[in-house]
Amino acid sequence: MTSSYDPKKITEIHEHLHSELPSDPALRVKALESLLVEKGMVDSAAIDAWIDLYAEEIGPKRGARVVAKSWTDPAFKARLLADGTAAISEFGYQGHATGHVVAVENTPVVHNLVVCTLCSCYPFALLGMSPGWYKSQEYRARAVRDPRGVLKEFGVSVGDEVEVRVWDSTAELRYLVLPQRPAGTDNLNEDQLAALVTRNSMIGTDRVLKVAR
């Protein structure tokens, strides 16, 4: 039995294997985690629990619950627009990332877009981890200079009759966009409404929320 050596095939296998490897930062984080676990300084189960919490529980779900509540409870909505931090605390969501939150409302003639031009300040306790594009230099610069162009790249087209307001977050002031409630959702409860809210709609790069048929 003979075997043949195919350089092209070997190269393809090599590239495939390396394409499956995590990024360099991810490898560094994993190495650091392994070292800390080995030294007994952290519990890997606890790390997994925190990751699951941010991905599944905190994520954008907290913000979505706040939005859904504002859609169904006019009194809560009024409190939220008057003092976002105080209203959000009614859910028990507290901490630095939920402090100093200002809620801004989308309407048929107003669309709000949030950016952090200096760095990437973001209410992660409400929206989960910030997306990569939010932290990019291009988004941070162009969102202020050409917000309509940025929105168009996200598939959001706003007419000339719609005013686009750009809000610049800081370490001491974060913004939460209240998207418009989709039409035809009068029969949905808060949980069902919350499921319609997207992370991007609470940043402002999504405008018309979709209702499953």
Catalytic machinery residues: 116, 119-121
d(CA 66, CA 92): 11
H or E, element range at 27: helix 24-38
H or E, element range at 160: none
Dig out the tokens for 70 from the structure. 């504002």
Query: What string of DSSP letters covers 38-91?
Result: HTTSS-HHHHHHHHHIIIIIITTHHHHHHHHHHHH-HHHHHHHHH-HHHHHHTT
17: three-class secondary structure by DSSP: helix
Sign of the Cα torsion 77, 92, 167, 181 reads negative
d(CA 60, CA 151): 20
CB 106 within 8 A of CB 179: yes
Nearest in space to 123 (alpha carbons), one of 142, 99, 150: 99
